[in-house]
Amino acid sequence: MHTFGNNSPELEHLDSDPVAAKDLLIPTNLNTAAQKAGFAAGRAVRTLRELQSNISGLRSYEGRLKTKQFTQDKPFHFMPGVAGVAFTVGLVLRLWRSTRVH
């Protein structure tokens, strides 16, 4: 017979009553099922994170390709855009430096 390792008098009858012992084992099966569900959920989350990473990588790659194609197709439209961004950054930095307290 299986001994449950607990010396309490309330559980002594379980050694002689297999039906009661089987009823006591149900939580173990539930724990196993819960562990399997937890592992499956963990795998699903990991897979979703990997897919999200792959999708964001593809989007940035597509963006680089579109930018490269645009610069090759219309260089005279792209150059004023770069100049405008550089002018704006320079103006912001100049204003920031002039407002700093020494």
Q: What global pTM score does this model have? A: 0.37
Residue 9 to residue 56: CA distance in whole angstroms = 61
pLDDT at position 2: 47
C-alpha to C-alpha distance for 17 and 19, rounded to whole angstroms: 6
For residue 62, is pLDDT > 50?
yes
Query: What is the greatest pairwise CA distance in the chain?
Result: 91
* 13 pLDDT more than 60: no
